[in-house]
Amino acid sequence: MSKKPTAGPALHKVIMVGSGGVGKSALTLQFMYDEFVEDYEPTKADSYRKKVVLDGEEVQIDILDTAGQEDYAAIRDNYFRSGEGFLCVFSITDDESFQATQEFREQILRVKNDESIPFLLVGNKCDLNDKRKVPLNECQLRAQQWSVPYVETSAKTRENVDKVFFDLMREIRSRKTEDSKATSGRAKDRCKKRRLKCTLL
């Protein structure tokens, strides 16, 4: 409908948020390349995109892996704006990271201004259950309060890694179909045309 016709598969934009060191990059890389990175290298903003088959339909997933660190907080809002769905990651071995999810959630809601934005609370490093610092019920309680799903993953063992990305994509997809129903296509079109003329003059 827009002037650049999107002949390719649907694109779902996913953003990884969470404190530093919780395994956002590890999850992303595991999902993208089936590899696990042992060493910790702070991220700034990484971009990944690939084709996947979601329920028989070919789609593209675009993953933005963010820093999750205070230093880059200023640009964060910009990233959030572009996201369609969020994986909010914390490490079950680090209570501070769990507490931080609260703030991420608030920031996202502030930027997106939408309570029902596709969002998953992800407790990573579940392979380190013996070092668990965040009780499961506390995690579930929080997810319930936010009415979002809670999933525990391990970037190391690949447990639930595909699940979180696919679940999130499904939410984004159903969200989009709802949206397209809600807004009329024509009105959008008109807006575009008007802008075109202005550049001409």
Partner 1 sequence: MAPQPVVTGLSPKEGPPGTRVIIRGEFLGNRPQDLVGLKICDSDCLLSAEWKSPNKIIARTGPARGKGDIIVTTVSGGVGTSTVQFRVYHETIGPLKESAVWIEESSPQNFAWGRRTLTQSGLTQEDPLGLSIEGNEQKIPEDLRDLVPDACGDLSQENFSPAWFLLENHSATSFVDLKAGLSYLKRKVESQKEGQLSFLKSNAGSVIDQLDTLMNIRDKLQEDTKLHGSEPLDVLELSIKNSIIESKKIFDDVLVRKEKADSTRAVLFALSRHKFLFCLPNAVDRLAEAGEYDKVVNDYSRAKNLFGKTEIPIFRKVLEEVDQRIMQIRKQLHEKVVKMPQRVEQQKKLIKALTSLEVQQSGTLVGDKLRNIDPAWDAIEARAKYLETTLRHTFEQYANRDAATQDKLKNRDPNQTPSRVNFCEEICDIAASQLPDLWRLGQLYFTGELRGQHDPKPGDFKRMILNAIEKFCVYLRLTILIAADQRTLRQTTGLSWPIGSNTATHQFLSWIPQCLRYTRIAYATLISLDLPSEALDIIQKLIDEVRLFCFSIIFKRATDRCKKLDAQETWEMGVEDFPGATLLPAALEALLVETLDEVQSVCMQPEAREGNLLEPQSDGQREVSQRLQEFLSAFSRVIEELAYQSHDEETPTHNVSQLLGFPNAQHTDPNVSSGHFYATGTSAVTWEQRMLCCLANYAYCNKSFFPHIGELFVKYGYPLPTLAIETSRYTVNQLFTNLLEEYVEHKGDPLVGTIEPSMYLGRFQWDHEMEIGKLRPYAHECCDNLVGVYSEIYTISPALLRPILESIVQTISEELARLMSCVRRFSFTGAIQANVDIRLLRDALENYVNETAKNYFLEALEAINPPLNAEQKRKADEILGHVKHNMRLQLLCFGVKDL
Ligand X SMILES: Nc1nc2c(ncn2[C@@H]2O[C@H](COP(=O)(O)OP(=O)(O)O)[C@@H](O)[C@H]2O)c(=O)[nH]1
Applying CB under 8 A, the residues found at the interface with partner 1 are: 25, 29, 32-33, 35, 38-40, 43-51, 60, 62, 64-65, 193, 197, 200
156 binds, among partner 1, Mg ion, ligand X, none (CB under 5 to 8 A by kind): ligand X
25 binds Mg ion (CB under 5 A): yes
User: Closest distance between partner 1 and the C-beta of residue 46, in Å?
Assistant: 4
43 binds Mg ion (CB under 5 A): yes
User: Closest distance between ligand X and the C-beta of residue 48, in Å?
Assistant: 13
Give whichever of 11 and 111 is closer to partner 1, judged by the CB atom.
11
Window contacting Mg ion (CB under 5 A); options: 40-48, 72-80, 85-93, 169-177: 40-48
| Nearest residue to ligand X, by Cβ distance, number only | 23
- Minimal CA–CA distance to 124: which of 93, 159, 161, 154? 154
Give whichever of 71 and 106 is closer to partner 1, judged by the CB atom.
71
Tokens at 161, concatenated: 């890694």
Give whichever of 78 and 180 is closer to partner 1, judged by the CB atom.
78
Interface contacts to Mg ion, rule CB under 5 A: 24-25, 43
